[in-house]
A and B are shown apart, each in its own frame.
Chain A
């Protein structure tokens, strides 16, 4: 069982969601990180950060504009 960290970045504006995700990725090293965001900018920045750090990214969009981003390594 790998550890899962959830980062709730809803309601926060850039660059905070990316920074919180970056800290979680560095802390975990590998495993699964779930990031909750509610802005297009946060979604793109978290995706960009994670891909560039070698994590696989799965985005689940919600109709209300928020998204659950699952990062795995």
Chain B
């Protein structure tokens, strides 16, 4: 019988053809770092991180726009913590706060409703970042704002969708043996979303949950399945083959697809989500933020999130660029691959 100990033994002693696997979800990156999974793998199994950390794929023009908005009269930029320290072309929201910009950190989008209701003369601009998993919450926020007659909330959307990015990676990087597919995203999209990529690129994709055992099991299966176009779902408790219709209906009511610019990947058609025309009063000018000027020219975040290099191959890693003083987005977020490498 295949036991977890046998899986560990196989992966530690693996001596076959070298394998490079990409985990696409930032939470997987974080689990891999936190559970010390790399210390349990043979040198022939390499794990690289993909563009699955929402903060890491945000382009500089988006951050610049938030910074600019934070200085506007009667305006407060509202954000989750990770976004605070990511630099745009020059400055981060943290820098703006020190320079008199109005920035407020929140833990949940729904906290914003209360804030907006209590401060009617202030416009709250919410830095809406995330993937399929987070989008329904933003849709819910706008729905509740309308129901409660709250009109001083706007989203600056950098919301993105994952299938287009996976397709882009498959086209660009032929070194990948397989993907640990994002469990949270698949819980919304359904695992069937992955089948076309598996077949088109002859690459296995294994959907995993977020326990270290699941991730390690996914690595094992991908090592066994290499070069087959199979999709396996290990996260059956949360992921079905078909999409979560409730979430899909909610998102479709408020958002429509459009081109989005990803740090390191460039503009990908239909990979962004923007509020539909009839809800435009809630949009803070999200479209067309395509410029991406790195804060530090030597930063290689874009190569890291496309799996071309490992974080330590960047000249800045651990020297000029540390979690205390990040030069690129991948070092900021706990889910960023540079941060995970540095802290494990």
The yes or no verdict on A and B being binding partners is no
Q: Measuring CB to CB, which residues of chain A are less than 8 angstroms from any residue of chain B? A: none
